[in-house]
Amino acid sequence: MSSLSSALSQCSSITWLTTVIGISPALGAFLAGLILSQIGEFSFILAATGIKYNLLSESTYQIFISLSILTMAVTHFILNSSLFILKYLSKLPVPEKLKTGSYPMSISEKLKLEDHVIIVGYGVNGRNVAKAAKTADIPYLIIEMNPEIVREERKW
């Protein structure tokens, strides 16, 4: 039972944290929390270590293993039904800011780009790819989720 409550609390924590700091709208954050709440394979090693040092009883270990396998199996179905889950959750009466997040994105004009490079993230590698594309006269589009980086680069 502790594995299930751990997975649910991890899901809740991810949802709350990403929504509060504005990284993601609540619905997307909830879905990310569900997906990341899977108890991974590394937990088997930790559980075996718990048995070795008498931190877990044999019955608790069996329950832990069962719930770990269950969360691994359910994750696939959650991924496959993610659009349905989001559509259902979007119908719930929640404040608009929770639906859009702190940094709602709007497209002011439709982009008509063809034969271009899409750079996801403008960290060190993204900057290098952009520099190379600019040098080679290849059109590119940068997608960056960090508002600090976007604000800084817009100054140029």
Tokens of 92: 């719930």
Which sequence spans correspond to the domains of the chain? Answer: 2-100, 117-154
Q: Quick one: which of 63, 42, 60, 40 has its CA closest to 51? A: 60
Tens digit of each residue's pLDDT (9 = 90 or more) over 70-88: 888 887 787 788 778 777 8
Model confidence at 113: pLDDT above 80: no
Cα angle 12, 149, 156 (rounded to 5 degrees) comes to 160
Whether this prediction's pTM lies above 0.85 is answered by no
**Residue 85 is encoded by which pair of tokens?**
């889950």
Per-residue pLDDT reduced to its tens digit, 44-53: 888 888 889 9
Residues belonging to the chain:
156
Cα–Cα distance, 83 to 93 (Å, whole number): 18
